[in-house]
Amino acid sequence: MTAVAPVFDDSISKAPERIAGMFDAIAPRYDLLNHLLSGGIDRTWRTRAIRSLALTGRERVLDLCTGTADLAIAASAARPGAARVVGVDFAGAMLRVADEKLRRDRLRDRIALVQGDATRIPMAAASVDAVTIAFGIRNVENVAAACAEIHRVVKPGGRLAILEFAVPTMPGWRSVYGWYLKHILPRIGRAVSRHDGAYAYLPASIDAFATPDELVKILRQSGFVTIAAVPLTLGSVCLYTARRGS
Ligand SMILES: C[S@@+](CC[C@H](N)C(=O)[O-])C[C@H]1O[C@@H](n2cnc3c(N)ncnc32)[C@H](O)[C@@H]1O
């Protein structure tokens, strides 16, 4: 499948070394901030994403941009859940936090962690039944290349579930949420993570990222079918679901 050029404003630098360095720097506080800044609702979003895969207990799932592995763990813990999960991320410090969680929860035999780039997934073609990504695709420099890679590694008929932030369209909520993202979130993020840029990058990258229609178009051009974009929490997050065609 040929990669297609992004159609949205992608002016923020997403050079892999910059993004990996930023996540490495905030890794120790990442989980705490995730739950704090979302008021704990991120767990519900992950549950929705895993449920959309309709797992039977036999699947091999790839969790791309796995970070600290919360979605990989959710896929493994669901009943029925994935038989096996592989979590891929390029930030080593995020994977070290993930690995400590797997050790603590005795999940190392069910979830494997691999350091790698979403645009060059270190896995064989048609080797997984489903792919998940939570809040990772927005950070990838070449979204179309990542979608083409996902298409390569998932089996024909296999499923995809992507969670990503979106800009809400409802006028009142859009203003309130936009104000929170711009003024409150970066302050809390900076105070807790002690990282200057990461939590200012978050709202800026949400603003600059593809709209749901644009991401759906990229998925379609990458060869996915039965694509849906379901708004969650008044459109602050979008759950994209799709299947690989042939
Ligand atoms: C916001 S975190 C999300 C982590 C996790 N999925 C979650 O839901 O909490 C984004 C993650 O994507 C990873 N990432 C971004 N671009 C990537 C790429 N091109 N290849 C691999 N990992 C990438 C980052 O290192 C980071 O761990």
Both tokens assigned to 147: 């979608």
d(CA 221, CA 219) in angstroms, rounded, equals 5
Q: Candidates 19, 88, 185: which one to mutate for ligand 1, based on the most atoms within 8 Å of Cβ? A: 19
Over 70: is that where the pLDDT of 5 sits?
no
**Over residues 145-167, mean pLDDT:** 98
Which of 20-24, 31-35, 213-217 is predicted with the least confidence, judged by mean pLDDT? 31-35
Q: Is the CB of 148 under 6 A from ligand 1?
A: no
Helix ranges (DSSP H) in the chain = 16-37, 42-52, 70-77, 92-104, 143-153, 171-179, 185-193, 198-208, 212-221
- Tell me the CA end-to-end span of the chain in Å, nearest whole number: 11
Residue 160 has pLDDT above 70, yes or no: yes
Q: Percentage helix, strand, coil, to 5, in the chain?
A: 45, 20, 35
Per-residue model confidence (pLDDT) at position 200: 87
User: Which of 139, 140, 237 has most ligand 1 atoms within 8 Å of its beta carbon, as the pocket-test mutant?
Assistant: 139
Please indicate whether residue 34 or residue 219 has the higher confidence score (pLDDT): 219
> pTM of the entire structure?
0.93
221 pLDDT band (50/70/90 cuts)? Answer: very high
How high is the pLDDT of residue 54?
A: 97
Average pLDDT over residues 33-41: 89
pLDDT tens for 69-99 read 999 999 999 999 999 999 999 999 999 999 9
Place of tokens 């309130």: 176
Predicted confidence at residue 11, as pLDDT, reads 55
Lowest mean pLDDT among 39-48, 185-194, 221-230: 185-194
The domain limits of the chain are 16-244
Give the contacts of 86 (CB within 8 A, at least 6 positions apart): 60, 61, 62, 63, 111, 112, 113, 114, 123, 128
Mean pLDDT over 160-172 rounds to 95
Residues 109-119, mean pLDDT to the nearest whole number? 98
Give the count of beta carbons closer than 10 Å to the beta carbon of residue 145: 19
CA distance 242 to 232: 17
**Fold classified for 16-244:** Rossmann fold (3.40.50)
Q: Which two tokens stand for residue 110?
A: 């069910």
